[in-house]
Structure 1
Amino acid sequence: MCGIVGAVAQRDITPILLEGLRRLEYRGYDSAGVAVLTSAQQLLRVRAVGKVAELEKALQATPAVGHLGIAHTRWATHGKPAEHNAHPHLSAGLAVVHNGIIENHAPLRKKLIDLGYVFTSETDTEVVAHLLAHHYSQSQDMLGAFRATLNDIHGAYALAVIHESEPNTLYCSRMGSPLVIGEGSGERYLASDPLALLQVTDRFRYLEEGDYARISLDSCDVWDRDEQQVDRPITRYEHAAHSLDKGEYRHFMLKEIFEQPQAIRDTIAGTLGDDHVLTAILGPDAETRLVDIANIHIVACGTSYHAGLVARYWIEAQAGIPCQVEVASEYRYRTVVVPKDTLLITISQSGETADTLAALRYAKDQGYLATLAICNVAGSSLVREADWRLLTHAGPEIGVASTKAFTTQLVALLWLTTALAQARGQQEFVARNVNALRGLPAMIEQVLTLEPAITELAQRFANKHHALFLGRGTHYPIAMEGALKLKEISYIHAEAYAAGELKHGPLALVDDDMPVVSVAPSDSLLEKLKSNLEEVRARGGQLINFACETIEPTSDSSIQTISLPWVEDCISPVLYTLPLQLLSYHVALVKGTDVDKPRNLAKSVTVE
């Protein structure tokens, strides 16, 4: 969840490092730091607790100027947020930054203490610094010392290292945590996310699992885990044209909510025929093998898991294929029974989500027919390692609480459902879905005009500490997503239930101080939902309904209803997501929380 930036150039690289950290701050903001090799060939380290702005203040007091450096923004795993735990960590003329977890840090720490090394932090990263210094002291060979260190450590990591003895060289490696090398004009960079470097380049080498590299002004040498030198091709970053600032919006989250119509247009572009979907985009042999799929397993985390839950309803109803959805962190640690001809679908915004990526790797040996990644990042590990891929085109999403990444995942999953139905001759579903997907962006633009009403509604949550969200069918996972968004950014405790479960426990929580939010489209379960809501009203609950405009409004003043346009059932879950996103955003404003960077959370979860 932390962020790494590095650079080697013939100019001062500190501004590059700082801008990279600003762009990576969504990954972690407990502390930040830089280490620069000065003109005197000495390492200068500056660290600060808190956000990157605090590091900037520290650098004003202690300027760091140099042509080689590394930087880091931290989300604490080992050791509390404190300056002594902030990266980079130093040892005998070298500096290290690290994302991930070194699983065998405890025995290595003991060994190094016995050798006389003194630890100044509680982090697992400092183990790497001292271990590397120890190996270097034995050989005076940085590349050999780096290789020996990589052989000693176990876990998930991305590492970047500089040493006073090599004033124009960066060393880096990745194992289970992303790292890219940026190619500039007479200079090179590295980062844990291409977003960090888009101000200086859009050309990247994506390191593969187990790769390590030596980067200098005039060369970039990469070796694989077998210590064989390899060539990782340079590719252009497809999202480079997207703006990475807030523009006219107060927060990235609001900007990204309003970017959803275009994100969905971009996601479906080139995927739809007149009355069918173009299945060849999935990848090699997918078009002919779709008909062979007899079962589906979906594995994801967080918001992506909710998208998978919606897809289960679609896939079973339209394609007639049994579908199982699991949280990745549970799936990878249990014995999985894989029926014959099962497709594994992994969903991740970043494509680097640790549990989801580990689940994909675990699944490789479980006898699946094929694996499919649904992801927003073309060069991510998930996409590269899956058999087939289905890319969303949400563009960069900076707000920690996912918005456009979620709705584009839903759109991709509906497209996939349509492809599966098409392979089974269910043309009625196919034609309807294709038509609905084409019209979806315009319908979302219409729903976004409800923001003023939702802004006013948010005031009702000013003094609330709990909320209940209800939905049925495909809208039950949407209620779950609405509850997650509210708790993520407003810190209100929120739970979601299938509305039919009210009488099995949750009804005990309902009183005249409890907001109860319902998702009420005009579908086959509407009458059932109305009966559930009557149970809430009878107990004095504060009902807030997001309902289809075709539903006759109630005259009860205790019920507040916001009407949404009627749409086909298949795209209704996407549409009803929007007002719940806006509600959580405006409640967070009322509560005065940090909308884009909620406490204790980070954007890309690259550790367990």
Structure 2
Amino acid sequence: MCGIVGAVSKRNIVPILIEGLKRLEYRGYDSCGVAVHQDGELRRARSTSRVAELHSQTAEDGIASGTGIAHTRWATHGVPAVHNAHPHFSHGAHAADGAAGRIALVHNGIIENHDELRAELKARGYTFHSQTDTEVIAHLIDHVYQGDLLEAVQQAVQRLKGAYAIAVFSRDEPHRVVGAREGSPLVLGVGTEEGQGEFFLASDAMALAGVTDQIVYLDEGDVVDMQLGRYWITHRVVDSTRFETVQREVRTVHAHSGAAELGPYRHYMQKEIFEQPVAIANTLDAVTGISPEIFGDGAYGVFKEIDSVLILACGTSYYAGSTAKYWLESIAKIPTSVEIASEYRYRDSVPNPRTLVVTISQSGETADTLAALKHARAQGMTHTLTVCNVSTSAMVRECELAFITRAGAEIGVASTKAFTTQLVGLFLLTLALAQTRGHLSEAQEAEHLKALRHLPVAVQAVVALEPQVIAWSEEFARKENALFLGRGLHYPIALEGALKLKEISYIHAEAYPAGELKHGPLALVTAEMPVVTVAPNDALLEKLKSNMQEVRARGGELFVFADSDTRIESEPGLHVIRMPEHYGALSPILHVIPLQLLAYHTACARGTDVDKPRNLAKSVTVE
């Protein structure tokens, strides 16, 4: 969601800005733009098309400079339109009507007090040309600007309420870009090109892949000043309007630039589905035995102190947490609650300082989850752990303990390999807690480790079911509604399957515990409502078969992913794809993969934009 790239250099940085935007396209956007300091003026190009179109536009307009900023926008305030696209220019009280002022700015996040600031700035003579909250920031900086951009930004951000990452430059100060962050990610890239004295800003280190691997992760409240050959970072002193200079570590970060190569696949989502065996193997690579220290130094002491688990997550990650609840309570015998992060912080809850707060996030920058984590800590729950795919993310830095999945960069908006590696991390957490609490014998540990080591091979066998799933997808592509059923441990997997189908094929899909059919959803069942059923050979199988008969009796058509020994046979109105093997507690990881394939191939059959579904973004960095 929304991408920022900025640079100061002696060379023309427009190609670098454009390439950075291309690397951020996977996050989702509906407009894009670039602005530079050229010949003493502000110049920009903006588009509601793809970054490739923006590239052509900058070339045609001769836009080139050593100072500039660029942005991909996912609309929040204001419709997707060129006048709402970033970068925004200030339009001062004394500027000619429509003429650009002296400030150019891009922004990720949401400014909650933008209406109040807009009214104040209008009263001071500022003209607004967009519906965005972002334009307010540009005018505010212009209003307080007195020749020093750093001081202007420091003053302006103290007036902002909400979340922001900004990059800004002034017409009056060539070769200077200032960035600031609060609640939205921003990194500084230290240039390695000899003689250029260059520095970069980006919302994601991946945007700078191939340009620099020297990255500084800015903290909440940091303001960074980039000039040719030097940069410095300031941070606001607590309970003060004063900023002090601070030092932040420069890290070498390999941003997986090769992950953006599609190879032989039609879409990134398909590629990432097929990468799951390797992603799981990589995630398990360093695990030689079950130990709390898998989650960081001091984990054993934390695990001994806790008596419950609270999982905070959104979307697909929430379903991973919902699956883990079954594992944690049945194997580790520890009470577990799972909360939708965007709801948790806004309700009255009963805090328990002996709770382990577990956050789950693919990017580690999910705004709702970060806010929920901070709320939990403010409630006195200081034992925190994250399961995350990005080791340098805000979530990892904010949490006491962490498990880093090794899924690699995930480009498709609909999460696949990030989800299954999250499940692996959560299962390891279950085993570590069970061991600490005395509920895991050596024999059980050995059995679970054996199953985990075989998991990549088992997943590969499930991926091989793709041709059978393709045949089903042709039927699903003609439908507008679908039901997904699961029981027990596999109910969250049914939820995930329904989410995948609706995300990328735009078919309305809902999931229910199969036992709930007779309590309402059965009224929807007709021959036009396909019912997808997850049918592992577990303790609830016979109950599930009864639920399936309820569907059959109402003329419903069943599509069943069944373990090989369930004795469920295909017949008219009952379609069965057999899973290669039953996998016990880890069965959800296998059963979700054909649901991913079904969603993917149904979307292909309907001709939707699989990797960039409408209205959605990859990384949700605003609330």
Q: Could you tell me which amino acid in structure 2 is paired with residue 288 of structure 1?
A: G
Whether contact under 8 Å (1:421, 1:429) holds in the other structure is no
Alignment-derived partner of residue 8 in structure 2: 8
For residue 364 of structure 1, give the secondary structure of its aligned residue in structure 2: helix
- In 2: Cα distance, 1:60 partner to 1:241 partner: 25
| DSSP 3-state at the match of 1:595 | coil
1:150 to 157, 163, 177: 157
User: Which of 443, 451, 456 is the equivalent residue of 2:466?
Assistant: 451
Counterpart selection for 1:571 from 576, 583, 586: 586
Deviates more, 1:178-187 or 1:446-455: 178-187
2:360 and 2:29 mapped to 1: Cα distance? 25
Of 392, 396, 399 in structure 2, the residue corresponding to residue 386 of structure 1 is 399
- Matching of residue 441 in structure 1 with residue 456 in structure 2: yes
Number of corresponding residues: 602
Task: Indicate whether 1:292 and 2:301 are aligned.
Answer: no
- The corresponding residue for 1:57 is 56
Secondary structure at the counterpart of residue 188 of structure 2: strand
Pairing partner for 2:494 from 479, 485, 492: 479
Within a 5 Å distance, the mapping from 1:146-185 to structure 2 comes to: 146-185=153-192
**Percentage of pairs with the same residue:** 56
**Separation in 2, partners of 1:562, 1:346:** 34
What is the CA-CA distance between 1:567 and the residue it aligns to? 3.4
The one-letter code sitting in structure 2 at the alignment partner of 1:520 is: A
Q: Deviations over 1:111-160 (max 9, x none)?
A: 11111111111111111111111111xx2221211111111111100000
CA contact (8 A) 2:302 2:383 kept: no
1:283-309: CA deviation from partner (whole Å, max 9, x where unpaired): 231123312221111010000000000
Q: What SS does structure 2 have at the residue aligned with 1:550?
A: coil
Q: Name the SS of the counterpart of 2:165 in structure 1.
A: strand
Q: Report the counterpart of residue 104 of structure 1 in structure 2.
A: 113
User: SS at the partner of 1:228?
Assistant: strand
Deviation at 1:369, TM superposition (A): 5.1
Please name the residue that 2:479 is paired with: 464
Structure 1 residue 605 corresponds to structure 2 residue 620: yes
Q: What is the CA–CA distance in structure 2 between the aligned matches of 1:4 and 1:282, rounded to whole Å? A: 32
In the alignment, which residue of structure 1 is the partner of 2:512? Answer: 497
Shift of 1:105: 0.8
Deviation (angstroms), 1:239: 4.5
Aligned match of 1:272 = 288
Partner Cα separation in structure 2 for residue 508 and residue 281 of structure 1: 48
Q: 1:243, CA displacement in angstroms?
A: 2.5
CA distance in 2 between counterparts of 1:102 and 1:555 reads 56
Give the 3-state SS of the residue equivalent to 1:209 in structure 2: coil
2:167 aligned counterpart, secondary structure: strand
> Residue 124 of structure 2 aligns with which residue?
115
How many angstroms does 1:341 deviate by? Answer: 1.3
- Residue pair 2:28, 2:413 contacting (<8 A) in 1 also: no
TM alignment of 1:299-314, pairs within 5 A: 299-314=312-327
Which secondary structure state, in structure 1, belongs to the residue aligned with residue 365 of structure 2?
A: coil
Paired residues of 2:564 and 2:582 also in contact (CA < 8 A): no
Asked if the contact 2:488–2:540 (Cα under 8 Å) also holds between the matched residues in 1, the reply is yes
* Residues 356-412 of structure 1: per-residue CA shift (max 9 Å, x gap): 000111111212250111111111111101111111111111100001110010000
1:552 aligns with 2:567: yes
Distance 1:396 1:26 in 2: 10
In structure 2, what is the Cα distance between the partners aligned to 1:289 and 1:243?
Answer: 36
* More displaced 10-residue stretch of structure 1: 238-247 or 151-160: 238-247
CA–CA distance in structure 1, aligned partners of residues 135 and 53 of structure 2: 22
Amino acid at match of 2:269: M
Q: What is the one-letter code of the residue matched to 1:114?
A: A
Pick aligned residue for 2:235 from 219, 224, 247? 224
SS at match of 2:550: helix
Q: Within 2, Cα distance between the matches of 1:371 and 1:474?
A: 25
Q: Is the 8 A contact 2:562 2:568 kept in 1?
A: no
Per-residue CA distance 1:308-364 (angstroms, 9 max, x = gap): 000000000001100000100110101121235111101111111111000111111
Matches within 5 A, 1:5-404: 5-38=5-38, 40-91=39-90, 92-136=101-145, 139-185=146-192, 186-226=197-237, 227-240=243-256, 242-273=258-289, 277-368=290-381, 370-404=383-417
> Does the 8 Å contact 1:455/1:586 carry over to 2?
yes
Aligned residue type for 1:257: I
**Contact 1:418–1:429 (8 Å) recurs in 2:** no
Contact in 1 for aligned 2:206/2:257 (Cα 8 Å) = no
After superposition, give the CA deviation of every residue in 1:469-519 in whole Å (9 maximum; x if it has no partner).
000111100000000000000000000000000000000000111110000
* Partner secondary structure for residue 534 of structure 2: strand
2:95 maps to which residue? none
Output the CA distance in 1 between the equivalents of 2:491 and 2:423: 14
- In structure 1, the gaps of 5 or more residues are none
Separation in 2, partners of 1:113, 1:235:
43
Measure, in 2, the Cα distance between the counterparts of 1:412 and 1:554.
Answer: 35
- Structure 1 length-normalised TM: 0.97
Give the stretch that moved more between structures: 410-419 or 158-167: 158-167
1:417 paired residue number: 430
Matched, 1:582 2:597: yes
Deviation (angstroms), 1:188: 1.6
Q: CA deviation at 1:41?
A: 2.4
Gap change, CA 1:271 and 1:238, over 3 Å in 2: farther
- Letter of the 2:428 partner, please give it: W
Indicate conservation of the 8 Å contact 1:478/1:577, yes or no: yes
Moved runs in structure 1, 4+ residues, more than 6 A?
none
Residue type of the alignment partner of 2:147: Q
**Aligned mates of 1:257, 1:419 — CA distance in 2:** 28
Give the stretch that moved more between structures: 42-51 or 167-176: 42-51
Q: CA–CA distance in 2 between the matches of 1:118 and 1:313?
A: 56
Letter in 2 for 1:95: A
Cα distance, 1:555–1:174 mapped onto 2, change above 3 Å: closer
- How far off is 1:242 after superposition? 4.4
| AA of the residue aligned to 2:68 | G
TM-superposed deviation, 1:245: 1.5
Contact 2:149 2:169 in 1 (8 A): no
Q: How does the TM-score come out when normalised to structure 2?
A: 0.95
Contact 1:29 1:50 in 2 (8 A): no
Q: 1:572: Cα distance to partner?
A: 0.4
Q: What secondary structure, in the 3-state scheme, does the structure 1 residue paired with 2:378 have?
A: coil
